[in-house]
Amino acid sequence: MLLVVDVGNTNTVLGVFAKVAKGDADSPASEALGYELVANWRLATVVTQTVDEYGVLFRNLFAMNKVEAKGIHGIVISSVVPPPDSTLREVCERYFSSKPLFIEPGVKTGMPVLYDNPGEVGADRIVNAVAAFEKYGGPCLVVDFGTATTFDCVSAKGEYQGGVISPGLGISADALFERTARLPRVDIRKPARVIGSNTVGSLQSGLYYGYLGLVDGILELLLKELGKEAKVVATGGLASLIGTGSKYIKNVDEFLTLEGLRIIWERNAARSGREPSLTKAKNAAAERTASKPWPGSKSKTTSTTSLKSKNIFSGGAGVPC
């Protein structure tokens, strides 16, 4: 199993992927196994947690979902909050006997980064872009509704072009509450009608429709530059709330970041030897395939060799992150 961790400013999201049978009798051994998300959790990011506190927390979460900690053979982490990085590294080594892969400059992502300074791009933005291009093709545009709302653009060739960063909806709501004397803190939701008949309804309407206007306004401008054929994908904690009301967002993908972490881990596993049991698993899968076909249809995968032939892994004018 693979443990993926996305550490954000407000929340930390964890997921566990397990290998499952895929393909049919005609599939090669390398396609006989695939990953499926079997458990996920969203927690508050606490930068003061100790190694043992994290260890107990992870073990308890695993126990609730009947996930065996000893079954974790790889860990990949994306973090935009530096303080807990060293703590998480020690947690992985002490409690899972595994050295984690951190998403940082130098890690093989398969996506050239055309930012002026690639090192400035948040790890989560690259992870989202990789997952969106892999799942939906290009050009594509990812809107991540987190503490900040980010808009990330990927070209038809799979190049990370950059994007937009704006204050998140939660930040906007907090600022309104903290800077006014008599306005209460309200639950962020879509109101029944635009015209509020009381203070709470008026606040909810302003927050929801005001932010929806911001999102659609930015998307309209980005699509003019990226191309109207670009797929728009939303992810993050408030993706379902705002994404379903947007006239441009067509796909809401709750686990896009977790999928991106898995994809990047797989692209680095073979090169670094992080998955020593992979060959053995593939051989076992090939033996089972010879005697009994896998259920389901043939899955579509892309080998590292074919990606290299398309120059996706070479930076071109950009720099691979």
- What is the Rg, in whole angstroms, of the alpha carbon atoms belonging to the chain? 21
Structure tokens at 163: 């994007």
Question: How far is 79 from 224, CA to CA, in rounded Å?
Answer: 31
Orientation angle between helical segments 85-95 and 51-64, nearest 10 degrees: 60
144 vs 171: CA distance, rounded Å: 14
* Active site (annotated) includes residue 187: no
**Alpha carbon distance, N-terminus to C-terminus of the chain:** 25
Count the neighbouring beta carbons within 10 Å of the beta carbon of residue 142: 30
Query: What's the rounded Cα separation, in Å, for the pair 84 and 81?
Result: 7
Report the amino acid identity of residue 25: A
Pair of tokens at residue 104? 């940082």
Catalytic residue among 6, 124, 144, 253: 124
Give the Cβ contact number of residue 165 at 10 Å.
Answer: 13
Contact 2, 262 (CB under 8 A): yes
**So which residues are the catalytic ones?**
124
